[in-house]
Structure 1
Protein backbone atom coordinates (compact mmCIF):
# COMPACT_ATOMS: atom_id res chain seq x y z
CA UNK A 1 0.00 0.00 0.00
CA UNK A 2 1.33 3.42 -0.88
CA UNK A 3 2.08 5.21 2.39
CA UNK A 4 2.36 8.60 0.70
CA UNK A 5 -1.23 8.79 -0.52
CA UNK A 6 -2.94 11.99 0.62
CA UNK A 7 -6.58 12.49 -0.50
CA UNK A 8 -9.40 11.59 1.91
CA UNK A 9 -10.34 7.93 1.36
CA UNK A 10 -6.89 6.91 0.18
CA UNK A 11 -5.34 8.82 3.06
CA UNK A 12 -7.47 6.84 5.48
CA UNK A 13 -6.19 3.63 3.96
CA UNK A 14 -2.60 4.85 4.21
CA UNK A 15 -3.17 5.71 7.84
CA UNK A 16 -4.39 2.18 8.51
CA UNK A 17 -1.33 0.69 6.83
CA UNK A 18 0.86 2.76 9.11
CA UNK A 19 -1.28 1.86 12.10
CA UNK A 20 -0.67 -1.84 11.69
CA UNK A 21 2.91 -1.48 10.54
CA UNK A 22 5.42 0.89 11.91
CA UNK A 23 -23.56 8.50 8.57
CA UNK A 24 -24.00 7.70 12.11
CA UNK A 25 -26.08 7.69 15.28
CA UNK A 26 -24.93 9.93 18.11
CA UNK A 27 -23.96 8.42 21.43
CA UNK A 28 -26.24 9.14 24.36
CA UNK A 29 -24.73 11.43 27.01
CA UNK A 30 -24.81 8.64 29.58
CA UNK A 31 -23.23 6.11 27.25
CA UNK A 32 -20.25 5.46 29.51
CA UNK A 33 -17.13 3.83 28.12
CA UNK A 34 -15.38 1.40 30.40
CA UNK A 35 -12.26 3.08 31.77
CA UNK A 36 -13.07 6.50 30.31
CA UNK A 37 -14.29 7.89 33.61
CA UNK A 38 -11.43 6.52 35.67
CA UNK A 39 -8.16 8.10 36.75
CA UNK A 40 -6.28 10.26 34.29
CA UNK A 41 -3.22 8.94 32.58
CA UNK A 42 -0.07 10.95 31.99
CA UNK A 43 0.62 11.17 28.26
CA UNK A 44 3.30 13.43 26.85
CA UNK A 45 5.18 13.92 23.60
CA UNK A 46 8.54 14.15 25.40
CA UNK A 47 10.81 11.20 26.14
CA UNK A 48 10.14 11.80 29.84
CA UNK A 49 6.41 12.48 30.14
CA UNK A 50 5.53 15.45 32.32
CA UNK A 51 2.03 15.66 33.86
CA UNK A 52 1.91 19.41 33.14
CA UNK A 53 2.50 18.77 29.45
CA UNK A 54 0.12 15.84 29.17
CA UNK A 55 -3.41 15.80 27.84
CA UNK A 56 -5.96 15.04 30.56
CA UNK A 57 -7.12 11.79 29.03
CA UNK A 58 -8.69 8.99 31.01
CA UNK A 59 -7.30 5.49 31.20
CA UNK A 60 -8.69 3.40 28.34
CA UNK A 61 -7.41 0.13 29.75
CA UNK A 62 -4.73 -0.45 27.11
CA UNK A 63 -2.31 -3.37 27.52
CA UNK A 64 1.04 -2.64 29.14
CA UNK A 65 2.89 -3.05 25.84
CA UNK A 66 1.02 -0.10 24.27
CA UNK A 67 2.00 3.41 25.28
CA UNK A 68 0.18 6.53 24.07
CA UNK A 69 1.71 9.96 24.60
CA UNK A 70 -0.54 12.93 23.88
CA UNK A 71 0.64 16.50 24.31
CA UNK A 72 -1.89 18.74 26.03
CA UNK A 73 -1.74 21.88 23.84
CA UNK A 74 -4.33 23.69 25.95
CA UNK A 75 -5.53 27.05 24.62
CA UNK A 76 -7.15 28.56 27.72
CA UNK A 77 -10.45 28.73 25.84
CA UNK A 78 -12.97 26.41 27.50
CA UNK A 79 -14.80 25.45 24.30
CA UNK A 80 -11.61 24.80 22.32
CA UNK A 81 -10.02 22.87 25.15
CA UNK A 82 -13.07 20.61 25.26
CA UNK A 83 -12.60 19.87 21.55
CA UNK A 84 -8.93 19.03 22.09
CA UNK A 85 -9.78 16.85 25.09
CA UNK A 86 -12.32 14.79 23.15
CA UNK A 87 -10.03 14.59 20.14
CA UNK A 88 -7.32 13.21 22.44
CA UNK A 89 -9.79 10.66 23.82
CA UNK A 90 -10.56 9.68 20.25
CA UNK A 91 -6.88 8.95 19.69
CA UNK A 92 -6.84 6.74 22.78
CA UNK A 93 -10.02 5.02 21.61
CA UNK A 94 -8.41 4.33 18.25
CA UNK A 95 -5.67 2.31 19.90
CA UNK A 96 -8.27 0.38 21.89
CA UNK A 97 -10.12 -0.48 18.68
CA UNK A 98 -7.11 -2.37 17.37
CA UNK A 99 -6.73 -4.19 20.66
CA UNK A 100 -10.35 -5.36 20.89
CA UNK A 101 -10.88 -5.76 17.13
CA UNK A 102 -14.63 -5.38 17.64
CA UNK A 103 -16.42 -3.62 14.73
CA UNK A 104 -19.36 -2.96 17.09
CA UNK A 105 -17.19 -1.40 19.77
CA UNK A 106 -18.73 1.37 21.87
CA UNK A 107 -15.36 3.14 21.63
CA UNK A 108 -16.01 3.38 17.91
CA UNK A 109 -19.56 4.70 18.14
CA UNK A 110 -18.65 7.16 20.88
CA UNK A 111 -15.72 8.85 19.14
CA UNK A 112 -16.16 8.28 15.39
CA UNK A 113 -18.85 8.95 12.78
CA UNK A 114 -19.53 8.79 9.06
CA UNK A 115 -16.48 8.18 6.85
CA UNK A 116 -14.09 7.73 9.78
CA UNK A 117 -16.32 5.15 11.46
CA UNK A 118 -16.92 3.21 8.26
CA UNK A 119 -13.20 3.17 7.61
CA UNK A 120 -12.34 1.76 11.02
CA UNK A 121 -15.03 -0.90 10.82
CA UNK A 122 -13.39 -2.09 7.61
CA UNK A 123 -9.87 -1.96 9.04
CA UNK A 124 -10.84 -3.71 12.27
CA UNK A 125 -12.34 -6.59 10.30
CA UNK A 126 -9.25 -6.78 8.10
CA UNK A 127 -6.84 -6.79 11.05
CA UNK A 128 -8.89 -9.47 12.81
CA UNK A 129 -8.96 -11.69 9.74
CA UNK A 130 -5.18 -11.36 9.42
CA UNK A 131 -4.58 -12.01 13.12
CA UNK A 132 -2.90 -8.68 13.81
CA UNK A 133 -3.02 -6.23 16.66
CA UNK A 134 -0.74 -3.35 17.73
CA UNK A 135 2.10 -2.72 20.17
CA UNK A 136 4.70 -0.05 20.90
CA UNK A 137 4.54 3.71 21.43
CA UNK A 138 2.28 6.21 19.69
CA UNK A 139 3.05 9.92 20.09
CA UNK A 140 0.71 12.82 19.27
CA UNK A 141 1.85 16.42 19.53
CA UNK A 142 1.55 19.95 18.14
CA UNK A 143 -2.23 19.69 18.19
CA UNK A 144 -3.93 22.81 16.86
CA UNK A 145 -7.51 23.85 16.20
CA UNK A 146 -7.34 25.24 12.69
CA UNK A 147 -11.02 26.20 12.58
CA UNK A 148 -14.03 25.89 14.86
CA UNK A 149 -17.69 26.86 14.95
CA UNK A 150 -20.46 25.88 17.34
CA UNK A 151 -20.76 22.44 15.78
CA UNK A 152 -17.70 21.85 13.57
CA UNK A 153 -13.97 21.79 14.24
CA UNK A 154 -10.82 21.02 12.29
CA UNK A 155 -7.87 19.81 14.34
CA UNK A 156 -4.37 19.25 12.98
CA UNK A 157 -1.70 17.29 14.82
CA UNK A 158 1.58 15.47 14.43
CA UNK A 159 1.99 11.75 14.91
CA UNK A 160 5.12 9.70 15.51
CA UNK A 161 4.89 5.95 14.85
CA UNK A 162 8.60 5.25 14.69
CA UNK A 163 8.26 2.96 17.73
CA UNK A 164 4.82 1.53 16.89
CA UNK A 165 4.47 -1.94 15.42
CA UNK A 166 2.10 -4.67 14.37
CA UNK A 167 1.91 -7.79 16.53
CA UNK A 168 0.78 -11.30 15.66
CA UNK A 169 -2.12 -12.22 17.94
CA UNK A 170 -1.53 -15.97 17.95
CA UNK A 171 2.22 -16.00 18.51
CA UNK A 172 2.53 -12.66 20.29
CA UNK A 173 5.51 -11.85 18.07
CA UNK A 174 6.14 -8.19 17.30
CA UNK A 175 6.70 -7.34 13.66
CA UNK A 176 9.43 -4.75 14.22
CA UNK A 177 10.45 -2.41 11.42
CA UNK A 178 13.21 0.18 11.14
CA UNK A 179 12.10 3.82 11.64
CA UNK A 180 11.68 5.84 8.45
CA UNK A 181 10.65 9.46 7.65
CA UNK A 182 7.20 8.06 6.75
CA UNK A 183 6.62 7.35 10.43
CA UNK A 184 6.15 11.10 11.02
CA UNK A 185 2.68 12.15 9.93
CA UNK A 186 0.76 15.42 9.86
CA UNK A 187 -2.93 14.66 10.32
CA UNK A 188 -6.02 16.81 9.90
CA UNK A 189 -9.25 15.63 11.51
CA UNK A 190 -12.75 17.04 11.05
CA UNK A 191 -15.00 16.75 14.09
CA UNK A 192 -18.67 17.56 14.54
CA UNK A 193 -20.61 18.28 17.69
CA UNK A 194 -23.60 16.07 18.44
CA UNK A 195 -26.90 17.01 20.00
CA UNK A 196 -25.49 15.60 23.24
CA UNK A 197 -22.58 18.09 23.21
CA UNK A 198 -19.98 15.46 22.43
CA UNK A 199 -17.49 15.64 19.56
CA UNK A 200 -17.07 12.90 16.96
CA UNK A 201 -14.37 12.53 14.30
CA UNK A 202 -16.06 12.47 10.89
CA UNK A 203 -13.00 12.17 8.67
CA UNK A 204 -9.25 12.63 8.66
CA UNK A 205 -6.35 13.00 6.28
CA UNK A 206 -2.67 12.22 6.74
CA UNK A 207 0.56 13.40 5.15
CA UNK A 208 3.46 11.03 5.74
CA UNK A 209 7.13 12.08 5.86
CA UNK A 210 5.98 15.40 7.35
CA UNK A 211 9.07 17.51 7.92
CA UNK A 212 7.18 19.78 10.34
CA UNK A 213 6.60 16.81 12.64
CA UNK A 214 10.22 15.67 12.89
Structure 2
Protein backbone atom coordinates (compact mmCIF):
# COMPACT_ATOMS: atom_id res chain seq x y z
CA UNK A 1 0.00 0.00 0.00
CA UNK A 2 1.12 3.56 -0.60
CA UNK A 3 2.39 5.19 2.62
CA UNK A 4 0.41 8.12 4.02
CA UNK A 5 3.35 10.19 5.20
CA UNK A 6 7.13 10.10 5.38
CA UNK A 7 7.99 7.17 7.66
CA UNK A 8 10.84 6.51 10.01
CA UNK A 9 13.59 4.18 8.84
CA UNK A 10 16.62 2.86 10.68
CA UNK A 11 20.25 3.89 10.16
CA UNK A 12 23.31 3.42 12.33
CA UNK A 13 25.63 6.01 13.81
CA UNK A 14 29.01 5.21 15.29
CA UNK A 15 27.51 4.82 18.74
CA UNK A 16 23.83 3.92 18.36
CA UNK A 17 20.97 3.16 15.99
CA UNK A 18 19.13 6.32 14.94
CA UNK A 19 15.70 6.60 13.35
CA UNK A 20 15.71 8.49 10.06
CA UNK A 21 12.77 10.55 8.89
CA UNK A 22 12.54 10.63 5.11
CA UNK A 23 10.45 9.91 2.05
CA UNK A 24 9.83 6.25 1.38
CA UNK A 25 7.65 3.24 1.95
CA UNK A 26 5.71 2.31 5.07
CA UNK A 27 2.41 0.94 6.34
CA UNK A 28 -0.97 2.43 5.52
CA UNK A 29 -1.11 4.15 8.90
CA UNK A 30 1.83 6.22 7.73
CA UNK A 31 -0.08 7.05 4.57
CA UNK A 32 0.44 8.77 1.26
CA UNK A 33 3.37 11.18 1.66
CA UNK A 34 6.35 10.05 -0.37
CA UNK A 35 9.33 11.04 -2.49
CA UNK A 36 9.29 11.81 -6.19
CA UNK A 37 11.04 12.21 -9.51
CA UNK A 38 11.96 14.70 -12.17
CA UNK A 39 14.98 15.80 -14.19
CA UNK A 40 17.83 17.58 -12.46
CA UNK A 41 18.23 21.12 -13.65
CA UNK A 42 15.12 20.88 -15.82
CA UNK A 43 13.63 24.07 -17.22
CA UNK A 44 10.16 23.29 -15.90
CA UNK A 45 11.11 24.12 -12.32
CA UNK A 46 10.56 27.72 -11.27
CA UNK A 47 10.98 29.71 -8.04
CA UNK A 48 7.98 29.85 -5.72
CA UNK A 49 6.93 32.20 -2.93
CA UNK A 50 8.52 30.03 -0.27
CA UNK A 51 11.80 29.87 -2.16
CA UNK A 52 11.76 33.64 -2.51
CA UNK A 53 11.10 34.00 1.22
CA UNK A 54 13.99 31.69 2.05
CA UNK A 55 16.26 33.50 -0.40
CA UNK A 56 15.50 36.77 1.37
CA UNK A 57 16.63 35.07 4.58
CA UNK A 58 20.01 34.37 3.00
CA UNK A 59 19.26 30.92 1.56
CA UNK A 60 19.85 30.02 -2.10
CA UNK A 61 16.96 29.39 -4.49
CA UNK A 62 16.81 25.67 -5.26
CA UNK A 63 14.24 26.24 -8.04
CA UNK A 64 11.61 23.87 -6.72
CA UNK A 65 8.42 23.37 -8.74
CA UNK A 66 5.62 25.81 -7.96
CA UNK A 67 3.57 23.18 -6.12
CA UNK A 68 6.33 22.47 -3.58
CA UNK A 69 6.94 25.04 -0.86
CA UNK A 70 9.56 24.84 1.88
CA UNK A 71 9.06 27.23 4.77
CA UNK A 72 12.15 27.39 6.98
CA UNK A 73 11.99 29.54 10.09
CA UNK A 74 15.11 31.74 10.27
CA UNK A 75 17.34 31.07 13.26
CA UNK A 76 20.38 33.03 14.42
CA UNK A 77 22.33 32.83 17.64
CA UNK A 78 24.85 35.65 17.37
CA UNK A 79 27.57 32.99 17.35
CA UNK A 80 29.23 33.02 13.91
CA UNK A 81 30.10 29.31 13.94
CA UNK A 82 26.64 28.18 15.08
CA UNK A 83 24.93 30.49 12.59
CA UNK A 84 26.94 28.90 9.76
CA UNK A 85 25.78 25.47 10.90
CA UNK A 86 22.13 26.55 11.00
CA UNK A 87 22.40 28.24 7.61
CA UNK A 88 23.92 25.18 5.92
CA UNK A 89 21.48 22.87 7.68
CA UNK A 90 18.63 24.99 6.29
CA UNK A 91 20.13 24.74 2.81
CA UNK A 92 20.23 20.97 3.31
CA UNK A 93 16.48 20.97 3.97
CA UNK A 94 15.88 22.72 0.65
CA UNK A 95 18.26 20.29 -1.04
CA UNK A 96 16.33 17.38 0.49
CA UNK A 97 13.18 18.41 -1.37
CA UNK A 98 15.12 19.03 -4.59
CA UNK A 99 16.69 15.57 -4.66
CA UNK A 100 13.23 14.02 -4.45
CA UNK A 101 12.21 16.13 -7.44
CA UNK A 102 15.31 15.19 -9.47
CA UNK A 103 15.59 11.56 -8.34
CA UNK A 104 19.26 11.45 -9.26
CA UNK A 105 21.35 9.45 -6.74
CA UNK A 106 24.49 11.27 -7.95
CA UNK A 107 22.89 14.72 -7.60
CA UNK A 108 25.17 17.51 -6.49
CA UNK A 109 22.40 18.62 -4.13
CA UNK A 110 22.78 15.32 -2.30
CA UNK A 111 26.57 15.13 -2.21
CA UNK A 112 26.93 18.77 -1.11
CA UNK A 113 24.75 18.49 1.99
CA UNK A 114 24.67 14.80 2.98
CA UNK A 115 27.26 12.13 3.72
CA UNK A 116 27.59 8.78 5.46
CA UNK A 117 24.41 6.98 6.50
CA UNK A 118 22.21 9.96 5.63
CA UNK A 119 23.39 10.00 2.02
CA UNK A 120 23.15 6.22 1.68
CA UNK A 121 19.62 6.33 3.05
CA UNK A 122 18.50 8.99 0.59
CA UNK A 123 20.07 7.15 -2.34
CA UNK A 124 17.99 4.12 -1.38
CA UNK A 125 14.81 6.19 -0.99
CA UNK A 126 15.38 7.95 -4.32
CA UNK A 127 15.52 4.60 -6.09
CA UNK A 128 12.33 3.43 -4.35
CA UNK A 129 10.46 6.60 -5.27
CA UNK A 130 11.56 6.39 -8.89
CA UNK A 131 10.46 2.76 -9.12
CA UNK A 132 7.08 3.60 -7.56
CA UNK A 133 6.48 6.63 -9.77
CA UNK A 134 6.03 8.95 -6.77
CA UNK A 135 6.74 12.63 -6.36
CA UNK A 136 6.03 15.18 -3.65
CA UNK A 137 3.76 18.20 -3.43
CA UNK A 138 2.57 20.64 -0.81
CA UNK A 139 4.25 22.56 1.99
CA UNK A 140 7.08 21.40 4.24
CA UNK A 141 7.60 23.58 7.31
CA UNK A 142 10.70 23.57 9.54
CA UNK A 143 10.98 25.52 12.78
CA UNK A 144 12.54 25.67 16.28
CA UNK A 145 15.99 24.95 14.85
CA UNK A 146 18.73 24.85 17.50
CA UNK A 147 22.37 23.83 17.74
CA UNK A 148 22.35 21.68 20.86
CA UNK A 149 25.95 20.40 20.72
CA UNK A 150 29.06 21.65 18.97
CA UNK A 151 32.75 20.83 18.73
CA UNK A 152 35.31 21.82 16.10
CA UNK A 153 34.10 19.25 13.58
CA UNK A 154 30.80 17.86 14.93
CA UNK A 155 27.45 19.48 15.65
CA UNK A 156 23.96 18.36 16.64
CA UNK A 157 20.95 20.31 15.38
CA UNK A 158 17.39 19.71 16.55
CA UNK A 159 14.34 21.01 14.71
CA UNK A 160 10.65 20.40 14.07
CA UNK A 161 9.08 19.33 10.80
CA UNK A 162 5.41 19.87 9.90
CA UNK A 163 4.08 17.75 7.02
CA UNK A 164 0.38 18.37 7.63
CA UNK A 165 0.13 20.07 4.23
CA UNK A 166 2.56 17.79 2.34
CA UNK A 167 1.34 14.92 0.15
CA UNK A 168 2.39 12.27 -2.35
CA UNK A 169 1.61 12.76 -6.03
CA UNK A 170 1.58 10.26 -8.87
CA UNK A 171 4.11 11.37 -11.48
CA UNK A 172 2.15 10.19 -14.52
CA UNK A 173 -1.39 11.10 -13.49
CA UNK A 174 -0.46 14.00 -11.16
CA UNK A 175 -3.13 12.72 -8.80
CA UNK A 176 -2.51 13.99 -5.26
CA UNK A 177 -3.04 11.51 -2.43
CA UNK A 178 -4.47 13.89 0.13
CA UNK A 179 -4.68 12.91 3.79
CA UNK A 180 -6.18 14.44 6.90
CA UNK A 181 -3.77 16.18 9.29
CA UNK A 182 -2.74 14.05 12.26
CA UNK A 183 -0.26 14.17 15.17
CA UNK A 184 2.09 11.99 13.10
CA UNK A 185 2.63 14.95 10.77
CA UNK A 186 4.76 16.65 13.45
CA UNK A 187 8.25 15.25 13.93
CA UNK A 188 11.12 16.30 16.19
CA UNK A 189 14.36 15.62 14.33
CA UNK A 190 17.89 15.39 15.70
CA UNK A 191 20.60 15.68 13.03
CA UNK A 192 24.32 15.00 13.40
CA UNK A 193 26.53 17.15 11.15
CA UNK A 194 30.24 16.88 10.44
CA UNK A 195 32.56 19.62 9.21
CA UNK A 196 34.51 18.86 6.05
CA UNK A 197 38.11 19.78 5.29
CA UNK A 198 36.69 22.61 3.17
CA UNK A 199 34.90 24.11 6.16
CA UNK A 200 31.35 23.17 5.15
CA UNK A 201 28.88 21.13 7.21
CA UNK A 202 27.25 17.90 5.98
CA UNK A 203 24.47 15.88 7.60
CA UNK A 204 25.79 12.44 8.59
CA UNK A 205 22.72 10.94 10.26
CA UNK A 206 19.43 11.94 11.84
CA UNK A 207 16.64 10.49 13.93
CA UNK A 208 13.01 11.48 14.17
CA UNK A 209 10.38 11.32 16.88
CA UNK A 210 6.89 11.30 15.37
CA UNK A 211 3.88 12.94 17.07
CA UNK A 212 6.29 15.10 19.07
CA UNK A 213 4.43 17.32 21.50
CA UNK A 214 7.28 19.87 21.32
CA UNK A 215 6.42 20.49 17.67
CA UNK A 216 2.64 21.04 18.01
Give TM-score scaled by structure 1 length.
0.81
Which of 193, 197, 200 is residue 198 of structure 1 equivalent to? 200
Q: Does 1:16 align with 2:18?
A: no
Secondary structure of the corresponding residue to residue 21 of structure 1 = coil
CA distance in 1, matches of 2:106, 2:145: 28
Give TM-score scaled by structure 2 length.
0.80
Counterparts of 1:165-176 in structure 2, within 5 Å, are: 165-176=167-178
- Alignment partner, residue 78 of structure 1: 80
Root-mean-square deviation (Å): 2.7
Q: Does 1:59 align with 2:61?
A: yes
Secondary structure of the corresponding residue to residue 140 of structure 1 = strand
Superposition deviation, residue 8 in structure 1: 4.3
Contact 1:141–1:157 under 8 Å retained in 2: yes
CA distance in 2, matches of 1:190, 1:208: 18
Superposition deviation, residue 150 in structure 1: 1.0
Counterparts of 1:63-212 in structure 2, within 5 Å, are: 63-212=65-214
Between stretches 75-84 and 2-11, larger displacement belongs to 2-11
CA distance in 2, matches of 1:6, 1:196: 30
Superposition deviation, residue 19 in structure 1: 10
- Alignment partner, residue 42 of structure 1: 53
Contact 1:142–1:157 under 8 Å retained in 2: yes
- Alignment partner, residue 44 of structure 2: none
Superposition deviation, residue 16 in structure 1: 2.6
Residues 74 and 123 (structure 1 numbering): CA distance in 2 closer, same or farther, change over 3 Å? same
Secondary structure of the corresponding residue to residue 180 of structure 2 = coil
What is the total number of aligned residue pairs between the two structures? 190
Gaps of 5+ in 2: 13-17, 25-29, 35-39, 42-46
Residues 4 and 207 (structure 1 numbering): CA distance in 2 closer, same or farther, change over 3 Å? farther
Contact 2:9–2:22 under 8 Å retained in 1: no
Superposition deviation, residue 109 in structure 1: 0.5
